[in-house]
Amino acid sequence: CGPRPRVTLVDRDERFSFSPMLYELVAGTATCWEVAPLYEELLEGSGVEFVRAEVRGLDEDERVVRLAEGEGAERGLPYDQCVLAFGLRPAIDLVPGVAEHAQPFTTASDALELKERLNALVRGGGGRDGGRLSLGIIGGGHVGGELAANVASALEGARAPIPLVHRAA
């Protein structure tokens, strides 16, 4: 069998985000712990070490992953075997206006920000002019569909049409 392997998980965020349930965080039907637990809590007792950092490079000859930690600090993390799973980041700079006017929806922080924005709109009585809300959801997959349904439910009475935009397959 040999010795137990040492496993280190590196992520720039302190929380794991379970994407299929992010809409439930917005709707308030799930807690942050259920949808986006802290890595340290999630991994407690597993033997897996968590390092909050950003991967800056991989030196295959030296067998070291270069990590950026904090302001300009960098360190090497040695490895025998390395698995790279970069995850998803929306490319919001590809379409003009998206970065200025859209709310990404890929992390727990995004979901909580969206929840706060929706609550502010409801408290404020409507859109910018005090009239009907104007919003849309881009991405008609499972998460987008569930998000649209839950946002519509949360905004019940606001008479806000919520277009769901999805690319053709």
Q: What is the dihedral of CA 16, 110, 113, 96, to 10 degrees?
A: 170
Residue 79 has pLDDT above 60, yes or no: yes
Q: 142-154 and 108-124 are packed helices; what angle lies between their axes, rounded to 10 degrees?
A: 30
pLDDT in tens, 102-125: 888 888 889 999 988 888 877 776
Give me the sign of the Cα torsion angle 89, 90, 91, 92: negative
DSSP notation for 127-152:
STTSSS----EE--SHHHHHHHHHHH
Token pair, residue 153, equals 């439910």
Q: Is the pTM of this model over 0.85?
A: no
The predicted pLDDT at position 77 comes to 96
Q: Quick one: which H or E segment has residue 99? A: helix 98-101
The residue with greater pLDDT, 135 or 23, is 23
pLDDT in tens, 17-64: 888 888 888 888 899 999 999 999 999 999 999 999 999 999 999 999
Residues contacting 11, CB < 8 A, separation 6+ = 39, 50, 52, 53
Give me the sign of the Cα torsion angle 167, 113, 30, 89: positive
Mean pLDDT of the chain: 85
